[in-house]
Structure 1
Amino acid sequence: MSGANTQAHIGRRLQQHFAELGPQERRVAGFILAHLEDLAVYSAADLARYSGVSKATVTRLFKRLGYQDFKAVKAHARQLRHYGVPLASGSDALGDGVERFRRHAEREQENLRQCLEGLTPVLFDAVVHALDAAPAVAVVGYRNSYPVALHLRQQLLQARGNVRLLPAPNQSLAEELVQLEPGTLIVLIGFRRRPRLFETLIGALQEREHRVLLIGDPTTAKYADRVTWRLECALETISAFDSYASAMSLVSLLANAMLHRRLAEGRARIGEVTELYEALDELAP
Structure 2
Amino acid sequence: MTRPSTGSGTGPSTGSGPTVAEPVEALAARIENAYRELSPQEQRAADFMRDHLGDLALYNATEVARLSGVSKATVSRLYRRLGFENADALRDHVRALRASGTPVASETPANFAEHLDRELANLRAALSGLDLAPAAQLIAGARRVTVVGFRSSYPIALHLRQQLAQARDGVVLAPLPGQSIGEELAVLTPDDVVVLVGFRRRPEGFARVLALVEASAARSILLTDQARLRGDIVIACPVESVTAFDSYAAAASVISLLAGAVLGVDLAAGRSRIAAIGDAYRGLHELE
Alignment partner of 1:41 out of 50, 55, 58: 58
Q: CA RMSD in A?
A: 1.9
**Residue 214, structure 1, aligned to residue 214, structure 2:** no
1:128 paired residue number:
136
1:267 paired residue number:
271
> Does the C-alpha gap of structure 1 residues 125 and 51 become closer, same or farther in structure 2, counting only changes over 3 Å?
same
Please list, as runs of the form range in 1=range in 2, the aligned pairs for 1:271-282 lying within 5 A after superposition.
271-282=275-286
Contact 1:139 1:186 in 2 (8 A): yes
Q: TM-score, normalised by structure 2?
A: 0.88
Alignment partner of 1:76 out of 93, 107, 121: 93
CA distance, structure 2, for counterparts of residue 4 and residue 111 of structure 1 = 31
CA distance, structure 1, for counterparts of residue 19 and residue 79 of structure 2 = 10
Contact 2:148 2:175 in 1 (8 A): yes
Q: State the Cα distance separating 1:71 from its structure 2 match.
A: 1.3
Report the count of equivalent residues. 270
Alignment partner of 1:117 out of 128, 134, 138: 128
**Residue 197, structure 1, aligned to residue 214, structure 2:** no
Contact 1:6 1:66 in 2 (8 A): no
Contact 1:118 1:231 in 2 (8 A): no
Letter in 1 for 2:82: L
Please list, as runs of the form range in 1=range in 2, the aligned pairs for 1:1-285 lying within 5 A after superposition.
5-7=18-20, 8=22, 9=24, 10-90=27-107, 93-95=108-110, 100-119=111-130, 121=131, 124-217=132-225, 220-223=226-229, 226-284=230-288
2:3 paired residue number:
none
Contact 2:190 2:217 in 1 (8 A): no
SS at match of 2:164: helix
CA distance, structure 2, for counterparts of residue 4 and residue 177 of structure 1 = 41
CA distance, structure 2, for counterparts of residue 258 and residue 230 of structure 1 = 16
* Range that drifts further, 234-243 or 17-26: 17-26
Q: State the Cα distance separating 1:89 from its structure 2 match.
A: 2.5
Letter in 1 for 2:100: Y
SS at match of 1:260: helix
* Range that drifts further, 44-53 or 274-283: 44-53
Contact 1:118 1:232 in 2 (8 A): no
Letter in 2 for 1:48: A
> Does the C-alpha gap of structure 1 residues 144 and 4 become closer, same or farther in structure 2, counting only changes over 3 Å?
same
CA distance, structure 2, for counterparts of residue 104 and residue 4 of structure 1 = 31
CA distance, structure 1, for counterparts of residue 139 and residue 29 of structure 2 = 44
Q: State the Cα distance separating 1:209 from its structure 2 match.
A: 4.2
CA distance, structure 1, for counterparts of residue 224 and residue 244 of structure 2 = 18
Letter in 1 for 2:209: L
Deviations 1:169-189 (A, max 9, x none): 222111221144542111111
Q: State the Cα distance separating 1:11 from its structure 2 match.
A: 2.9
CA distance, structure 2, for counterparts of residue 14 and residue 279 of structure 1 = 61
> Does the C-alpha gap of structure 1 residues 200 and 13 become closer, same or farther in structure 2, counting only changes over 3 Å?
farther
Contact 2:190 2:219 in 1 (8 A): no
Q: TM-score, normalised by structure 1?
A: 0.89
Q: Which runs of 5+ in 2 are unaligned?
A: 1-15
* Range that drifts further, 79-88 or 11-20: 11-20
> Which structure features the higher share of helix residues?
1
Deviations 1:83-119 (A, max 9, x none): 22222323xx501xxxx23332222111111100151
Q: State the Cα distance separating 1:232 from its structure 2 match.
A: 0.9
Deviations 1:215-259 (A, max 9, x none): 111xx2331xx3101111111222111111110110000001111
Letter in 2 for 1:125: A
Q: What percent of counterpart residues are identical?
A: 45
Give the 4+ runs in structure 1 shifted more than 4 A.
Answer: none
Q: Which runs of 5+ in 1 are unaligned?
A: none
> Does the C-alpha gap of structure 1 residues 5 and 240 become closer, same or farther in structure 2, counting only changes over 3 Å?
closer
